[in-house]
Chain A
Amino acid sequence: MTADELMLTIFVIFLALAFVRMLAYRLYGEDPRFTQWLNRVDSVPYWSRVIAFLLVMGAVAYVDGDEYFTSVMVSVATYAMLGLGLNIVVGFAGLLDLGYAAFFAIGAYTSALLMTQTHWNFFATVPLAVLFTGTAGAILGYPTLRLRSDYLAIVTLGFGEMTRVTFTNWDYAGGPNGILQIPFPEAFGYVFQTQFDFLIVGLVLLAVAMIFAQHLEHSRLGRGWIAIREDEFAAESVGVPSLRLKLFAYVMGGMWGGLAGGFFATRIGAIDPTSFTFSLSVLALIVIVLGGTGSLPGVLLGALVVVGLPEVLRQFADQRLLIFAVLLVGMMLVMPQGLWARIRRKPKPFYGLQEEEGEDVAAKILREHQVQMEERDRRHAAAGHRVIKEGEAILEVEGVVQQFGGLRAVDNVTFEVRRGEIFSIIGPNGGGKTTLFNCITGVQRPKAGRIHIDGRSVVGLRPHVIASRGVGRTFQGIRLFKNMAVFENVMVGLYPRHRTMTWQAMLHTPGERKDELRTLQESRRWLGFVGMEAVAGRLATELSYADQRRVEIARALAAHPHLVLFDEPAAGMNPTEKVELDGIIRKIRRLGITVVLIEHDMSLVMRVSDRIAVLDHGSLIALGKPAEIQQHPAVIEAYLGREEDDLMERAQGA
C-alpha cells in the first residue's frame, strides 16, 4: 500500500467506526446488553486502552515503514496534543480561545532556546516549557475572566497575534528567522532522529497528555469546568468558584500547548514565527470541534482529519484548501455535534458500587450529616464565631433594599429565620421573593441593609463562598446542568466538600480515587433521598419538571448545607408529586437543616411551614404562623384583591 492509500484506509476505518458508534447509541442506547457491554469496556482502565490504541498506531507505522506516512503520523500526534490542551479550555470550561497557537509558540521557543543557548537536553526542557506556558495561560486568563465568552474570541486572537509579533521582533530569539539547528532529543545516549523515533516520542507524550486529560475530566475539577460551561450562575450557587476554575483552565490548557510546542521544536529542528499564525489556532479549534467538543477520542479523530485530509487531497494541488474548507463546512452541517461526540448519559452510573438498602441510606445520610454539622460548628467556634443553636436566628435579614432602575424590588425587608425551622416566603409574583433569595445567596448585592448567616455578614461575598459556608439553593426556573447526567449534577453539588489537589487529580492518586468514590457514593445516596436513584444516569433534560426539581434539591443538599433556600419547588408538580415533596421537605428538616421556601401552593405552605412571611411589592406585609397568615386581611387582599373593587361595579354594569 502506498502511504496515501494507507492514510485513506485509516480514514475510512475511523469514520466508519464513528458512524457505527453513533448508530449503536441511537438504536441500542437503552438495550441492557449494549449498556452492560459498555460498562465492561469502561471497567478496563483508561490508560491501558490509550496505550493499546497508540501501540497499534505505532505498529502500523512500523510495519508500513514509510517515512512520509510516519511523519504525517507524527504531525497527527502533535496536533492531538495541541487539541487536548485546547479541549480543556474550550471543551471542558467552555472558554473560546482563538489564540491557542501562542502557547504552542511559547512552548516551542522555550524549549528551543534552552536547547540551543544553554544546551539542555530536550527532555529536561519540557517541564520548563510547560511551566512557562502555564504561566502565560495565567497572564492571558486573568484579565479576561470577567468577559463574556464572545469577547474572548477577539482577546485570545489578539493574544496570539501579539505573541507572534513579539517573537518576530525579538532579536535574541532570531527575529523573523527564528531558531535554527535545534538538536535532536537524546535519552540514555540514544539520539532520536528518524521519523519513527519521533513517532515513538510523540506517542509517549501523547499518551501522557491523553491520560492526564482524561483524569482531569473525571475529577472534581473537570466536573467544575463542565458545570461552568453549562451554567456559570448555577455552578457558583452550588459552590464552584468559577473565576478560579476558569483561570485554571487557561493554565492547564497552556501547559498542554507547551508540551506540544516543545516536541514540535525538536522534531522540526528549526522554528520561526510563521509556524504559529492564526491559522494554526484555527486548525487546533477545528480539531476539537470536528471531533466533538469535550470528547477525548474526538480530539484524536479531529487531528487525523485536520492533518491527514489535506495530505490525501494533495493531488488536487490548487484546490486543496478549498476542498478542505468545503468538506469542513459540510461536516459541521451534517454532524454539528462532531464526529465522536461526547455522550454524557450513562445507563448504569453506579455499576460496581456496593448496594445499599433504603433504610441504610437514610441512616448513613443522617450520620454523615451529623458528623458534618458537628465539624462545621466546631470549626465555626474555633474561628471565634458564636455557634447558632436550635431556635436561634441562623439567617438575619435586616432592612434589605434592592432596586432596579426606578423599581424597588425589595423594600426595607426585615425578618429572621431560626435554626431548624421551615420558613416560607409567599406573595404574588413580582413581589420580590426571588430577588431576596438572590441577595441572600450573593447573586446580587443589596443596595442597603444587612444579611447575616450564622452570625456573619454575607453581603458582598461571591455566591460560591456563601454556598461553601453551608447555604444550598434551588431555582425558580430549574437550572440543572443540562448536558450532564443526573448523578453528575449531584456530584457537582459536592464540590465544596473536597479539597483534592489538581496534581492528585491528574495522577489519579489513591487519595483522589477514594474521594471520587465517596463523591459517587454520596451522590447516589442523595438521589435515593429524593427518590431519583433510578434515573441517575439520564441527562437532566430528559426528566419531567417535577423530577428535575427533585434532582435540583439533591444537588443543593449534596454538600451538607445547614440552610437551604428552595424557590418554588412545587411549581409544575401534580398533587401526588406535591405530597412527595412535602415528605422530602420534612425529611430535610429531620436532618437538622433549616429550610426557607418560596412557594405559591398554599396548602403545601400551610402544611409544612413553622412560620410564613408575606412579601408584596417588595415589602413585608405579614409574618407569623400559618393560621395567623391565613386570616390576615392584608394577605387576603394581596392575593385576591380588595373585596369592594371598582372593577366589580363595572363588570356588574356591563
Chain B
Amino acid sequence: MGPFLQYTVIGLTVGSFYALVALGYTIVYGIIRLINFAQGDLSMVGAFIGWTLLVSLGLEHLPLFLAIVVAFVVPMLGTAIVNLGILQFAYKPLLNRSLLAILITALGMSLVLQNGSELIWGPAIEAYPPNLLPAEGMFLGPVHVTYVQIALVVVSLLLMGGLVAFVQGTTLGTAMRALAVDHDAARLMGINVNQVIRLAFVLGAMLAAASGVMLGLYYVQIQFTMGFLLGLRAFTAAVLGGIGNIPGAMAGGMLIGLLEAYTTGYLSGKWEDVIVFGVLITVLVVKPTGLFGERVAERM
C-alpha cells in the first residue's frame, strides 16, 4: 500500500501540470478545432521566462512570496502575448482553410518556438534555484509528501478553479462555451467571435506558462526541448478526457499523471509511452469521444 500511495502522490503532482496544459489544448480546440501543437512549447517558454527572472535577474533573492508571484505572473503574461502573436500571424490567415495546412503551421510554430528559445536561452540545460522552496515535507501515514508538491498541486487547483469559475460563472465564459457549439448562432448573439478566440489563446497560454514554471520549480532542470513531451502528454490527456471538454481535460491530465507514475513505479519508465498510448487507444475504441464526451464546434 505504501508505494502505491507514494506513486499516487507523484502522479497527481505531475498530472496537475499536464492538466493545466491540457486545458489550453482543449479550450482552443473546442472553439476553432485547431490542435495548437505549440501548447507544450508555450509551457517551455513560460519556464524560461520564469528562469530568467529568478536566476538571471536575481529575483530569487527577493522575499520568497514576492519572488514566486512575479515568477508566475510575468511568464503568464509574456507567454500570452507570444500566443496572441502566433494566432494573429500564423493561424488567423488559415482559419477557414484546410485543416492540414493549419496543422502543419501549428507544427511549424512549435519548431519556431523551440529553435527560437534555443537561440535566446541556448541549448544547455538550465536550473531553477534548487533551494528556493523548502525541500522537506511531511509523512501522511506511510506516504512522504513534500511541501513543494502540496503547494504546486494547490496552485494548479486554484488556477483550474479560477478557470472553471470564469467559464461557468461569467457571461464571457458562457460565450466561450457557446462558441464551442455553434459559431454562427454565437455571432447572432452579438458575440465578437475573434475576441473570444483571442481570449481562449490568452487563457491557454497562461495556464501553459504556469505549468512550465511549476515544472521548473519541481524538477529544477529545464531545457528548450522540454515542451515536446509535456505537450504530447497534455494533448493525450485532453483527448482522453474528451476534447473540448474542460472537466475532461483536468481529469485526463490527472489520469495520465497517475498512469505514468504507476508504470514507472511498478514496471519501468521505459514503457511509459506504450502504456499511456495503449490506454488512450483502448479508451477511444470503446468510447470514441473520450471519457467525458467531446464538446466541439462544427467546422466553420
Contacts and interface: CB of A to CB of B under 8 A. Distances in A.
Do the two chains bind?
yes
Interface of A: 90, 96, 143-144, 146-151, 153-155, 157-159, 161-162, 165-166, 168-169, 278, 282, 285-286, 289-290, 293, 318-319, 321-322, 324-326, 328-329, 332-333, 336-337
A90 to B, nearest CB: 7
Interface in B221-255: 228, 232, 235-236, 239, 243
B109 interface: yes
B95 to A, nearest CB: 11
B284 A155 contact: yes
A154 B235 contact: yes
Contacts of A289: 100-101, 103-104
Overall SS of chain A's interface: helix
A190 to B, nearest CB: 41
Interface stretch (B157-165, B176-184, B207-215, B270-278): B270-278
Interface string B90-131: 100110011111011101110110111011000000000000
Given A285-B104, A325-B111, A325-B115, A333 B90 contact: yes
Given A153-B35, A161-B273, A169-B271, A147 B284 contact: yes
A164 B115 CA distance: 24
Contacts of B109: 325, 329
A322 B101 contact: no
Contact of B280 (A158, A282, A328): A158
A332 B108 contact: yes
Contacts of A144: 281, 284
A337 to B, nearest CB: 8
B281 to A, nearest CB: 6
Contacts of B276: 158
Given A168-B270, A293-B100, A321-B115, A332 B239 contact: no
Contacts of B278: 162
A151 B241 CA distance: 12
A230 to B, nearest CB: 12
Contacts of A318: 118-119
A596 B131 CA distance: 79
Contacts of A154: 235-236, 239, 280
Given A143-B285, A146-B288, A290 B270 contact: no
A115 to B, nearest CB: 27
A150 B101 contact: no
Contacts of B295: none
A318 B114 CA distance: 12
A334 to B, nearest CB: 10
A321 B111 contact: yes
Given A153-B103, A332-B104, 20 more contacts: A90-B100, A143-B281, A147-B288, A150-B29, A154-B235, A154-B239, A155-B281, A158-B273, A165-B270, A169-B270, A285-B100, A321-B115, A325-B108, A325-B111, A326-B112, A329-B90, A329-B109, A333-B105, A336-B98, A337-B98
A96, A286, A326 — which one has the most chain B CB atoms within 10 A of its CB? A326
Contact of B111 (A161, A169, A324): A324
Contacts of B280: 154-155, 158
Interface residues of B, number: 44
A282 B107 contact: yes
Contact of B98 (A146, A162, A293): A293
A99 to B, nearest CB: 9
A165 B274 contact: yes
B94 A336 contact: yes
Interface string B261-276: 0000000001111101
A166 B270 CA distance: 9
5 contacts: A158-B281, A161-B232, A285-B103, A322-B118, A325-B115
B281 A322 contact: no
A505 to B, nearest CB: 25
Nearest to A333: B93
A609 B239 CA distance: 51
Contacts of B270: 165, 168-169
A286 B243 CA distance: 25
A434 to B, nearest CB: 19
Nearest to B106: A329
Interface centre among A149, A153, A154, A282 (most CB of B within 10 A): A154
Contacts of A166: 274
Contacts of A143: 281, 284-285
Contacts of A325: 108-109, 111-112, 115
A157 B243 CA distance: 16
Contact of B105 (A157, A293, A329): A329
A511 to B, nearest CB: 35
B115 A328 contact: no
A162 B270 CA distance: 11
Given A155-B281, A155-B284, A336 B115 contact: no
A641 B56 CA distance: 78
Contacts of B232: 157, 161, 278
A332 B101 contact: yes
B103 A96 contact: yes
Nearest to A329: B108
Contacts of A337: 98, 101
Contacts of B107: 282, 285-286
Contacts of B97: 336
Nearest to A319: B119
B112 A150 contact: no
A555 B116 CA distance: 52
Contacts of B94: 332-333, 336
Contacts of B104: 285-286, 289-290, 328, 332
